[in-house]
Amino acid sequence: QFQLVESGGGLVQPGGSLRLSCAASGFNFNSYIIGWFRQAPGKEREGVACINTHSRSTYYANSVEGRFFISRDSNKNTIGLQMNNLNSEDTALYYCGIPSTSSCMSWDYWGQGTQVTVSS
């Protein structure tokens, strides 16, 4: 059974940074594309970033391109999301998940989420 546990969320001021982490277990970590998506009240689910096996390729949503960076550690079975220059539009619940396709838009599995709030 797939298990994904996110951590690292919190309150940050505009322009600040946060690093999220996700611990994966219950499956062959290195056989799957892994990613992050977010949800905020009144907004559609948005795929933030995805990374394929052995970090060969990455995808970023236009809204976070150049600010967010995804990584994976094949030895520790963890996924990171470094978020820089945060703004109010980044406020959301962030989920680590396994995407259904390489488009990083639909998801088969995900964790409980971690809240990121950007406010002064």
- The arithmetic mean of pLDDT across residues 16-44, rounded, is 96
Question: With bands split at pLDDT 50, 70 and 90, how would you rate the model's confidence at 55?
Answer: confident
Q: Would you state the pLDDT for residue 17?
A: 98
Q: Are 74 and 17 in contact (CB under 8 A)?
A: no
Q: Would you state the pLDDT for residue 93?
A: 98
Q: Would you state the pLDDT for residue 54?
A: 82
Q: What is the maximal distance between C-alpha atoms in the chain?
A: 41
Q: Distance between CA 55 and CA 49 in Å, rounded?
A: 12
In angstroms, the first-to-last Cα distance of the chain is: 40
Q: What is the average pLDDT score of the chain?
A: 95
Tokens 């980044």 locate to 90
Pairing of strands 78-83, 92-99: unpaired
